[in-house]
Structure formats: C-alpha cells, structure tokens
Chain A
C-alpha cells in the first residue's frame, strides 16, 4: 500500500510523518518520529507499556493503525510529559518513592498517572486510582510504590493542569 502523510501535534509540536496506513502508531512514533521513550511490551494491548495520550485519553499505541489517527490529532508521549509541570512532578515523585525499578513499564505508567491526575481525580480510597492504572502491568514493584507516588502527586498537583475532559 502506498504511504499516507499525516500531520499531528506531538508533544506540543507540529510533526508530519509518512507511513503505510496500517503501520502501528507505536512504530510510527518510534521509527518515523524517533520518539523511543514509548516502549513495546507485549504488543497485544495487555501490558500498557506503549501507552500514549491521544486527544487526552490514554490508549495502547500497539493496537492503533496509525492511518486511523487523523490530521490534527494531539498526541502526548513520555517525552512530552517532561515539558509539563505535572509530568515533572510525577517524575520526581516516582523517583523519590521508589516507584520505578527496571523501568520498562514506566513510560506507559506515567502516561496513565498523568491522564488520571489531569482529570482532577482525588481518591483517598485508591479505587479510582488503581482502576486508572489497571491497564498498566508492572512486574517489579507490586504497585504499592506507584500508588504512593501518584497519591503524593495528587496532593501537589498544579491547579492549572486540571482539564476535565470527561
């Protein structure tokens, strides 16, 4: 199949890529756009390591044909998180709380945390917090440290980075 050209806003910048439309979004991000922070874990939507935000919602980029992402779509990868105040806060607290061990799941886990906190969620009971991370599998931490980091981030979350899209 001949290639198609798409222009998206990726991490706040306009980026254009040319690719076969059925190529996975994960591969377009990593290979065409050089954003290798997004990881492939299972390749079948089970582990969440490849999570990115597509128009504000976390999605598994291994399950999306990149041609299905229309011109003008907004994508946020782990590289883009560092440009946000909330993303830097999460980075700091994940480190402080020991939430990252081998680190392979962390790009996707951070995306899930960011999406959850950006919706203004506060959850002392942890139910919604854990539900928001249920699509991300970590084989190192047992999740307790991750939950601690996200709870700590919730307390300090910058008000201007709340964007209820639900």
Chain B
C-alpha cells in the first residue's frame, strides 16, 4: 500500500478552483471532506492511498443551510452535527435531523458531512432514506456546468452514483414537510451509538379522514442502495389506517426488499425487520 503521507494534498480556495482540479485527470484528486469513512479505509489498508487528495473542507460554497422555494437547501459540506442542531432542519425535515443524531457519536457527527454520506454511496448510509421520502434532489457541478437530478436517480447501485469523475456534489434540495404531514426515522443496530445500521429508514406521510393520503417510505441496508418501496406505497395509498392495513403493509414491505446476509445481519432478519419498521411507521402516523 502506498503511504498516505505521500499523497499530494490539493487545497482549492474556491469551488471554481476545485472544479478546475477535477476537470483534468492529470490534476484530479479524491474529494475529502469529513474523512470519517475514507481515513478509516486508508488506515486499515482496505483502500489504496490516493495519488492526490482534494480537500473540500473550508470551501464556503459548500456550507449553506437555508430554505428557498419550498425546499431546504443543504450544502454538501454541512455536518451531521449541524443537521441535528439546525432549527430549520428540525422543523422542515425532522427525520433527517433524527437520522443525523444517530450516526456515530458527537465526534463523528462533528466531522462527517451530508455530501460525504451520500457520496460514499453505501447502502448503509443513514441519511439517504430521509432524503428519499422527501423527494430530494441533488445538485452536482463540473467545469462543464451544474445539473440537478432526483436523489433516487443519483443512487445508481452499490457504491455507484450518477456522478462523472470531474463532478462534485454541491448541495441537496429537500422539499419541506408539508402542512399536516409527518415523518420519522428508525434505526436498528447492535447499540444506539457508534454502530452501523442493520436496517434503517424513514417515512413521510399524511392521513385524511382516517385514510392514507400520502405515504412515502425508504429503507437502507436492504438493497444495493437505499430504496423507496413503491409497491407497498401504492398499495397503501387511499387505504383506511386500520389493523388489516398494518398487517398487509408489513407483509408487502418484507416481500419488496432484497437484502443480503453480511457481517452485520442475515437476509431473513433484515426482511422481517423491514416489515416491522413499515408497520412502526404506520403506527407513528396513526398516533398523530
């Protein structure tokens, strides 16, 4: 393994300079923000030390957090600590704040960024489900220009994103929680802190006259990417929020996910938990 201390360290002062580094293969660096995944992988030798590292920390363009046009606009460099503390996030995307608060401990939350969590493209990334149920978009840019696409399209597969080698993640556009709707987040792991999830997820939904008017649910660690459950969602829409509906949704969610067995859990257990999580979300919706 190449020694990490030999890597060239690129320090762009602006986003424009960062994009110019990335435009050419000969100057391109591996983007590094919070480092909470990359530093571990490099130190453990499971990933080769890169020839060049592009330091994204300190780029002001990646640090905004505001509400505009009915969406929360969250810069890629916003940390988990900022997400959990932000009154804007807690009001407009509460499940995202809840998810951020369960990642690692305070030290990891202070370092890890939302751009890194999504850019890492792990199915166990804890922030993706809350963004998916909100129909969030991601905005990326290169010297060729910026583009904006649905996060569900951006997450292509296991460790795969619709992101060209010269592009960087700029920010996320997260539609705010509509009036009368609710959402929450649940995670199942071996312990409350410092644990990678076995299964986790979020929902965003709304009830009208005892019937489900809207329901979006997304789960992580049950498929190659965090996924919505479109079949379960479609079956639920318009249904009375009663015991039969909860039973049916649990069965359908368990059948819809495609988990694998790995060091953290078995496929069978993840399938079962997926159904239970969706039942729990409907109970949460019913309790409001």
Contacts and interface: CB of A to CB of B under 8 A. Distances in A.
Interface string A25-58: 0000000000000000001111010010010011
B9 A4 contact: yes
A65 interface: yes
Interface of B is mostly: mixed
B231 interface: no
A63 B194 contact: no
Interface in B17-37: 32, 34-36
B9 A135 contact: no
B108 A64 contact: no
Given A51-B107, A134-B105, A45 B40 contact: yes
Given A64-B35, A65-B39, A135 B7 contact: no
A67 B55 contact: yes
Contacts of A135: 104-108, 193-194
B8 A1 contact: yes
A17 to B, nearest CB: 14
A64 B8 contact: no
A119 to B, nearest CB: 11
Contact of B32 (A1, A51, A65, A131): A65
Interface string A123-155: 000000001111111000000000000000000
Nearest to A63: B39
B129 to A, nearest CB: 21
B263 interface: no
Given A115-B106, A132-B106, A166-B85, A1 B6 contact: yes
A147 to B, nearest CB: 15
A68 B35 contact: yes
A48 B43 contact: no
B5 A20 contact: yes
A89 interface: no
Interface residue range, chain A: 35 or more
Nearest to A23: B5
A65 B53 contact: yes
Contacts of A77: none
A117 interface: no
Contacts of B4: 22
Given A44-B40, A45-B40, A137-B194, A60 B9 contact: no
Nearest to B109: A135
Interface in A66-110: 67-68, 70
Given A67-B55, A68-B55, A24 B106 contact: no
Interface in B110-150: 110-111
A20 B8 CA distance: 9
Contact of A59 (B44, B111, B192): B111
Interface in B212-249: none
A32 to B, nearest CB: 12
A112 interface: yes
A63 B35 contact: yes
A72 to B, nearest CB: 11
B106 A22 contact: no
Contacts of A45: 36, 39-40, 104, 107-108
- Chain A to chain B: the 6 pairs with minimum beta-carbon distance, closest first: A135-B105, A134-B193, A21-B9, A20-B5, A134-B105, A57-B110
Interface of B: 4-9, 11, 32, 34-36, 39-40, 43-44, 49, 53, 55, 57-58, 81, 85, 101, 104-108, 110-111, 192-194
Given A23-B5, A59-B107, A59-B111, 6 more contacts: A45-B108, A48-B105, A51-B107, A58-B110, A65-B55, A135-B105
25 contacts: A1-B8, A20-B5, A21-B53, A21-B55, A22-B53, A23-B5, A45-B40, A45-B107, A48-B107, A59-B107, A59-B111, A62-B39, A63-B39, A63-B111, A64-B35, A64-B39, A67-B11, A68-B55, A70-B57, A132-B106, A134-B192, A135-B105, A135-B106, A135-B108, A135-B193
Interface of A: 1, 4, 20-24, 43-46, 48, 51, 54, 57-60, 62-65, 67-68, 70, 112, 115, 131-137, 166
